[in-house]
């Protein structure tokens, strides 16, 4: 089957030919004819199966360019996915004249969005919270909407957008066509499809495994302190084009990117604190080849789709299988091959087992590249540089007389002159690594790790108890001075749950799970512990966030949870409170 067989028009087919699409994926082959026929659709498919084209192509094929008010609305759970969907629409509309597509998401100024809406747009792609803001302000007119798409609907519900989604569905024309795409079919999704969709056709694309067979998955057992050196060696020996290195916290993104740049690699960081303009510039540099390594958190990398990404490295292995699948899915896309390498500390073997069980694929153990491995690679690259220089015949000819003149006047053999020039070219950095010293302690550990517990006062030999870096990086505790308590205007009365709070704040504010402390849900409001040093831009974005359809009105809490004043102090002047929910522990 080809795209021509699906009934698409010439302009859309020409755009597909430009981007090199030849045959439709399973979800595209099943969905496109159904949507072109005017039926509602419920599509069950994992990410990476080509569902964006499945709904974008039929919409573009039937678009009325003369109508200036929005004809199509696509709801996406994150701003990254919204931007990715917009890019896809623009790519597929390259041969359609006068089509205007607008991304609408939190974190971007209202001015840009309002100006575009006044000029007229045909397709709006946005997150539910920001779409609701525009509807409340009366700046978005959906009275003539013809097509509505819910992309990754299960993720939107997990993040607390259920009420917003239902409000939008109810406030749009009854005769619109609706396409709902989801990786799973929980009861809430089933209810929405039954209530708001008109006799939808359910299309399911089954996948044998949750990870692509095109991705080679490996892991390396390494202590936390050895990770940066291990990553450097892997960069030396792996033939990679573009790479994403995933870490748990946004602070580590900057630190690791700086260390990689100091080692001569072209690396940059993206996290929730990076402004959207800077993020887009960084991603474009990765696409164009000006940047080779991106250090990212899970939230910042959502929706990232760059052809050059040949490798994904889990510098910090995720604690759940689902983020692992999303991370390594950044490579090996659209039939290409990819490599995924995970760093696993000795205490994290259980996480690896959970991931293997969930993905139903074994992950192969690899060994840390040795000094000899690195030196062989360095010599091969040095040889390549010489060969490339020799191919520049005109430049070589110009230097022959200079070298011959030096040899005549200094009586130095050619090979010595060549070696001296190599020293000049190499600079102060040695070409080859020195051999590693023998480490008998490592061999002892490999024979069973049967070292006896040292005496209490013998601190230098405390081994594993001293190597706290082997543990997964812990979340900040409520008693940490770098955490602060914030009040949000949603509570039990609004049927809010901790996972909704975590999902909404993480999405709009670019936060990770490690940024959340205790979550205390009260009848009328909730108290959330977040980092005390949140940037003003992040606070402004969070202040405009909605949960269960309500503005949260984030502000510091003046009478929040008490702090312990010292290491041994457990007292508080306030009465004891009931145990609080922990955000990350309940957000799954």
The answer to whether position 519 is within a domain reads: yes
**Residue partners of 399: CB distance under 8 A and separation at least 6:** none
The answer to whether position 516 is within a domain reads: yes
Lowest pLDDT segment from 153-162, 281-290, 329-338, 481-490: 329-338
Co-location of 158 and 47 in the same domain: yes
Give whole-number Cα distances, 235 to 8, 13, 215, 305, 516, in Å. 44, 40, 18, 21, 33
Average pLDDT, integer, range 455-476: 38
Residue of 207, 132, 138 whose CA lies nearest to 168: 132
Q: Binning pLDDT at 50, 70 and 90, where does residue 578 land? A: very low
Residue 219 main-chain phi, psi, to 5 deg: -140, 155
The answer to whether position 448 is within a domain reads: no
pLDDT at 120: 92
Final residue of a structural domain among 401, 426, 451: 426
Residue 367 main-chain phi, psi, to 5 deg: -100, 150
Residue 436 pLDDT exceeds 80 = no
Co-location of 282 and 413 in the same domain: no
pLDDT winner (highest mean) among 1-5, 386-390, 526-530, 577-581: 526-530
Residue 420 pLDDT exceeds 70 = yes
The answer to whether position 469 is within a domain reads: no
The answer to whether position 542 is within a domain reads: yes
pLDDT at 571: 32
Residue 428 pLDDT exceeds 80 = no
Co-location of 167 and 28 in the same domain: yes
pLDDT at 480: 44
Co-location of 285 and 391 in the same domain: no
Residue of 319, 274, 271, 330 whose CA lies nearest to 295: 271
Tell me if 512 sits within 8 A of 506, measured CB to CB: yes
Average pLDDT, integer, range 428-446: 56
Q: What are the tens digits of pLDDT across the range 170-202?
A: 889 999 999 999 888 888 889 999 999 999 999
Residue 444 pLDDT exceeds 70 = no
Residue of 552, 551, 548, 553 whose CA lies nearest to 164: 548
Co-location of 250 and 136 in the same domain: no
For residue 516, the domain's CATH number is 3.30.70.330
Tell me if 38 sits within 8 A of 177, measured CB to CB: yes
pLDDT winner (highest mean) among 148-152, 543-547, 569-573, 581-585: 148-152
CA distance 104 to 124: 7
Residue written as token pair 């164009």? 288
**Residue partners of 19: CB distance under 8 A and separation at least 6:** 91, 92
Co-location of 34 and 159 in the same domain: yes
End-to-end C-alpha distance for the chain, whole angstroms:
39
Between 408 and 247, where is the model more confident? 247
Q: What are the tens digits of pLDDT across the range 342-399?
A: 999 988 888 888 888 878 888 999 888 877 777 777 777 777 777 877 788 778 877 8
Final residue of a structural domain among 370, 387, 404: 370
Final residue of a structural domain among 352, 370, 388: 370
Domain count, the chain: 4
520 bridge partner residues: 527
Average pLDDT, integer, range 329-336: 76
CA distance 102 to 378: 48
Give the mean pLDDT of the chain. 80
Q: What angle do CA 130, 136, 142 make, to 5 degrees?
A: 80
Co-location of 47 and 178 in the same domain: yes
Co-location of 500 and 357 in the same domain: no
The answer to whether position 477 is within a domain reads: no
> What domain range is 387 assigned to?
373-426
pLDDT at 587: 34
The answer to whether position 474 is within a domain reads: no
For residue 231, the domain's CATH number is 3.40.50.300
Q: What are the tens digits of pLDDT across the range 115-150?
A: 999 999 999 999 999 999 999 999 999 999 999 999
Residue 477 pLDDT exceeds 70 = no
Half-sphere exposure of 529 toward its Cβ, with a 13 Å CA cutoff? 24
Co-location of 323 and 245 in the same domain: yes
Average pLDDT, integer, range 25-36: 91
pLDDT at 51: 86
The answer to whether position 463 is within a domain reads: no
CA distance 60 to 72: 9
- Tokens for 428, please give them: 């102060």
Co-location of 533 and 574 in the same domain: yes
Co-location of 58 and 199 in the same domain: yes
Co-location of 390 and 365 in the same domain: no
């Amino acid at each position: 089957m080809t795209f021509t067989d699906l009934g698409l028009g010439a302009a859309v087919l020409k755009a597909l030919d430009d981007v090199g699409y030849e045959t439709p994926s399973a979800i595209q082959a099943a969905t496109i004819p159904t949507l072109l026929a005017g039926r509602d659709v419920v599509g069950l498919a994992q990410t990476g199966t080509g569902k964006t084209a499945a709904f974008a192509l039929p919409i573009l094929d039937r678009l009325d360019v003369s109508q200036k008010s929005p004809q199509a609305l696509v709801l996406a759970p994150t701003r990254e996915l919204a931007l990715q969907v917009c890019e896809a629409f623009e790519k597929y509309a390259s041969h359609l004249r006068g089509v205007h597509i607008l991304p609408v998401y939190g974190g971007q100024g209202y001015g840009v969005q309002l100006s575009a809406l006044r000029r007229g747009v045909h397709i709006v792609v946005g997150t539910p919270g920001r779409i609701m803001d525009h509807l409340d302000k009366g700046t978005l007119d959906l009275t003539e909407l013809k097509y509505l798409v819910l992309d990754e609907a299960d993720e939107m519900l997990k993040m607390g957008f259920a009420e917003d989604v239902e409000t939008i569905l109810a406030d749009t024309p009854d005769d619109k066509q609706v396409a709902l795409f989801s990786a799973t079919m929980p009861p809430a999704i089933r209810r929405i499809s039954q209530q708001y969709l008109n006799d939808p056709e359910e299309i399911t694309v089954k996948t044998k495994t949750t990870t692509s067979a095109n991705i080679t998955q490996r892991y390396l057992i390494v202590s936390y302190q050895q990770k940066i050196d291990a990553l450097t060696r892997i960069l030396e020996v792996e033939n990679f084009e573009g790479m994403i290195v995933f870490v748990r916290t946004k602070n580590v993104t900057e630190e690791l990117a700086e260390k990689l740049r100091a080692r001569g690699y072209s690396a940059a960081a993206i996290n929730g604190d990076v402004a959207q303009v800077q993020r887009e510039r960084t991603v474009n540099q990765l696409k164009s080849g000006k940047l080779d390594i991106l250090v990212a958190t899970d939230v910042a990398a959502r929706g990232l789709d760059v052809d050059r990404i040949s490798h994904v490295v889990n510098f910090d292995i995720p604690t759940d299988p689902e983020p692992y699948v999303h991370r390594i899915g950044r490579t090996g896309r659209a039939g290409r091959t990819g490599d995924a390498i995970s760093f696993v500390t000795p205490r994290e073997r259980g996480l690896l087992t959970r991931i293997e069980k969930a993905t139903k694929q074994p992950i192969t153990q690899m060994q840390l590249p040795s000094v000899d491995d690195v030196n062989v690679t360095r010599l091969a690259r040095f040889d390549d540089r010489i060969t490339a220089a020799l191919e520049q015949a005109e430049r070589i000819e110009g230097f022959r007389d200079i070298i011959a003149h030096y040899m005549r006047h200094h009586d130095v053999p050619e090979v010595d002159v060549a070696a001296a020039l190599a020293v000049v070219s190499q600079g102060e950095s040695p070409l080859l690594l020195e051999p590693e010293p023998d480490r008998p302690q490592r061999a002892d550990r490999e024979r069973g790790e049967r070292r006896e517990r040292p005496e209490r006062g013998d601190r230098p030999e405390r081994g594993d108890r001293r190597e706290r870096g082997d543990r997964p990086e812990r979340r900040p505790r409520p008693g940490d001075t770098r955490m602060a308590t914030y009040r949000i205007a949603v509570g039990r009365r609004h049927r809010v749950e901790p996972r909704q709070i975590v999902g909404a704040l993480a999405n709009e504010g670019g936060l990770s799970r490690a940024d959340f402390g205790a979550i205390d849900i009260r009848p009328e409001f909730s108290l959330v512990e977040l980092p005390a040093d949140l940037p003003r831009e992040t606070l402004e974005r969070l202040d405009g966030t909605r949960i269960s359809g309500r503005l949260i009105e984030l502000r510091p809490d003046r009478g929040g949870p008490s702090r312990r004043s010292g290491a041994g102090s457990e007292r508080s002047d306030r009465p004891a409170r009931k145990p609080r929910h922990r955000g990350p522990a309940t957000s799954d």
